[in-house]
């Protein structure tokens, strides 16, 4: 079955990374850029708590053969020599063979040959790509849809607008914003429109405990009757 015909949301991750620790500096920059863009990525340092106590041999087999929509393999001499990377690669190749799909996305630091990876498979030459350029290529490949009812993992735009710089400030902002987000998910579209108009046009003098606004005015700009509210 072709990957493009599958429901993208059935996977836990949009993409997983398989790489040698020798290339972590480059790979981590790419991973951070993807995470900040809202891509669901499996990268070991982002999953430390989740990996703690797990049987990693079994867990990684599941990640690389079932849980991700795509797998980026960062090829290098070091990659070909590591036991763990070979374990990840074999599981990824088993998935690609089973589904006959473009699951594995090779990216090369050098020309090291990798067992089972044919020379005819298109790859990205990382010597010619900055981490930023490669991250954008991954996003383009994934073609991330506009997410609906989605709270970003790292709401960096919100942090910037509220000038939340420290870890404590960011945690407070994220906690409050996520609570508001979860509450809004229980409202209808019409109710959310009404709340938006109230906050946009209400008097901010006693915000947020008491917002003053003329009922007839809000009825006019909202475009529907307030009787049921």
Residue-range domain boundaries for the chain: 3-142, 156-222
pTM of the model: 0.58
Return the pLDDT at 6. Answer: 45
b/e burial code for range 8-44 (CB count within 10 A of at least 16 → b): eeebebbbbbbbbebbeebbbebbbbbbebbbbbbbb
Return the pLDDT at 146. Answer: 53
The CATH number given to 3-142 is 3.40.50.10140
- The ranges of the chain with pLDDT < 50 are 1-7
Nearest alpha-carbon partner for 43 in 30, 61, 62:
30
Provide the 8-state DSSP code for 146.
P
Strands 210-212 and 124-125: unpaired
Return the pLDDT at 147. Answer: 61
Return the pLDDT at 22. Answer: 93
User: Do 43 and 69 touch, CB atoms closer than 8 A?
Assistant: no
């Amino acid at each position: 079955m072709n990957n493009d015909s599958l429901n993208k949301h059935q996977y836990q991750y949009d993409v997983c990374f398989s790489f040698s620790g020798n290339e972590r500096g480059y790979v981590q920059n790419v991973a951070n850029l993807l995470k900040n863009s809202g891509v669901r990525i499996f990268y070991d340092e982002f999953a430390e708590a989740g990996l703690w106590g797990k049987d990693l041999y079994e867990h990684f087999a599941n990640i690389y053969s079932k849980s991700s929509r795509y797998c980026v393999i960062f090829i290098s001499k070091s990659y070909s020599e590591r036991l763990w990377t070979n374990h990840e690669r074999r599981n990824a190749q088993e998935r690609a063979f089973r589904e006959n799909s473009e699951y594995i996305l090779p990216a090369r630091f050098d020309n090291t040959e990798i067992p089972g990876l044919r020379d005819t498979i298109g790859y990205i030459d990382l010597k010619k790509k900055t981490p930023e350029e490669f991250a954008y290529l991954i996003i383009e490949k994934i073609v991330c849809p506009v997410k609906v009812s989605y709270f970003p993992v790292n709401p960096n735009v919100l942090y910037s607008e509220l000038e939340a710089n420290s870890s404590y400030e960011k945690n407070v902002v994220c906690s409050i914003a996520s609570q508001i987000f979860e509450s809004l998910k229980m409202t209808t579209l019409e109710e959310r429109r009404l709340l938006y108009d109230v906050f946009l046009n209400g008097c901010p003098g006693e915000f947020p405990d008491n917002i003053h606004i003329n009922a007839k005015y809000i009825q006019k700009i909202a475009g529907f009757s307030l009787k049921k509210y």
